[in-house]
Structure 1
Amino acid sequence: MRAEGIIFDVDGTLAETEEVHRQAFNDTFARFDLPWHWDRSLYRRLLDVTGGKERIRAYVASDDPPQGARALDLVLELHTAKTECYTELVVAGAAKLRPGVKRLIAEARRDSVRLAIATTTSLPNVEALLAAAFGSDAAKIFEFIGAGDVVPRKKPAPDIYRLVLDEMRMPTFACIAVEDSRNGLDSARAAGLPTLVTPSVYTSHQSFPGAMAVVPDLDTPPVSLATIAKWRAADSGW
């Protein structure tokens, strides 16, 4: 069964951006004189919490770091500064699309498959990545971008996917989601979407029960619209 719409997650799915996010967080902590440094092991744990502001609050609650109370008073300022830092890094070329992403998007556009984004990351982060990856075509590619705080609950809640589906006026059976994390998979499945998972550097240790398919990336093997149709036909859950 052909997919009439593909809804992409961003961080870890379109591009391996989490290391860029981690750098932006650490640079921002230094700028605000917070004696914090999130190493890869710590950041992998914190990624179980979706949303940058939520991640800072969770870190204070779970790790009781120095100046935690001060940081909680500055969460919005910290997040704004971190977003600015991240977008500067992306514009400078710090994040590249994952293998096969540009090819599958180009095939979808040729075949009039509708494209959208459902992510918990901030809209400026998404726009910076799309501009860096697609240039002047960026604004034409995705019909709707659901990002940031536009819904009450972030992934793994299904809110962001339901919003995107409502905005596109598309039924769930006509679309698929592409995700990289268990939170993203659970969010998409709760919204009724068959989901293709391409684990990222920070989610490769996770399990993905209920996924339509799990592949290393969209080039391994090369994922096409025909491949997706075969997976959907073989997936008894859809």
Structure 2
Amino acid sequence: MPCTLLWDNDGVLVLTEDRYFQACRETLAELGVELTRSFFIDHSLLKGLSVFDLVADRGFGKEKLAELKRKRDRRFAELIDANPCTVDGAEDVLRSLYGRLRMGVVTGALRRHFDRSHARSGLLKYFDFVVAREDYERGKPHPDSYRTALQRFGLNPDECVVVEDTGRGLQAARAAGLRCLVIPHDLTRGQDFGGAHEVLRSIRDVPEAIRRLGLL
């Protein structure tokens, strides 16, 4: 069986994280709460926790929190629709690899957010499968997402390579017994990428990294 390349989505294929930060910041600002970039990076990107923890002491019930998240989601969708967010070079790389190995997406995003981010990307035709947040129990850095992909699609870990952009994504891949390439960006640069097979400068470096592994 040929190598399977497992791609993270946000920050790797599409640049959604800045837009997500903006949507969260605007939603919280309406409550008089400031969401700083540093808190977002540490709490959301690094730890995988909810920025709405900032209002945990407000006594909001589940319905109020759900309403805030719906408002955040609507603003996020508007920001995605207004500005294409595909990573530069992503389609060129996917096109060059298509048919030479199997490719799937393993994302921490909810399916509706994933679908919105790819509404105009033109990238989905290159993937054999997508594993979204609804498909597994615990989010990254737990290995559930990657283990789900391995089990559901009958993949051999030794024949798979992950492409991630965050330390917790790397931890999830490694905990599932997978090799991981990391492509840091402005929001994740400086995180701990110890254990990565290789840290790359851009998505355009992925094919050569796969060749160095002897899988292409």
**Fold conserved between structures, TM > 0.5:** yes
Matched residue, 2:129: 144
Q: 1:205 to 1:84 in 2, by over 3 A?
A: same
Give the CA deviation at 1:71: 6.7
Give the CA deviation at 1:94: 4.8
Gaps of 5+ in 1: 234-238
Select which of 120, 134, 143 maps to 2:108.
Answer: 120
How far, CA to CA, are the matches of 1:71 and 1:83 in structure 2?
A: 18
Give the CA deviation at 1:57: 4.8
- AA matched with 1:27: E
Q: 1:3 to 1:75 in 2, by over 3 A?
A: farther
Matched residue, 2:206: 223
Runs of 4+ aligned residues of structure 1 deviating over 6 Å after TM superposition are none
How far, CA to CA, are the matches of 1:37 and 1:57 in structure 2?
A: 11
Select which of 33, 45, 48 maps to 2:46.
Answer: 48
How far, CA to CA, are the matches of 1:80 and 1:12 in structure 2?
A: 22
How far, CA to CA, are the matches of 1:24 and 1:147 in structure 2?
A: 21
Matched residue, 2:89: 100
Contact 1:182 1:208 in 2 (8 A): yes
Matched residue, 1:133: 121
How far, CA to CA, are the matches of 2:77 and 2:191 in structure 1?
A: 28
TM-score normalised by length of structure 2: 0.87
Give the CA deviation at 1:3: 5.9
Gaps of 5+ in 2: none
Aligned residues: 214
Q: 1:71 to 1:20 in 2, by over 3 A?
A: farther
How far, CA to CA, are the matches of 1:200 and 1:122 in structure 2?
A: 22
Give the CA deviation at 1:104: 1.9
CA RMSD of aligned residues (A): 2.4
How far, CA to CA, are the matches of 1:84 and 1:122 in structure 2?
A: 14
Give the CA deviation at 1:202: 1.0
Q: 1:116 to 1:80 in 2, by over 3 A?
A: farther
Residue identity (%): 29
TM-score normalised by length of structure 1: 0.80
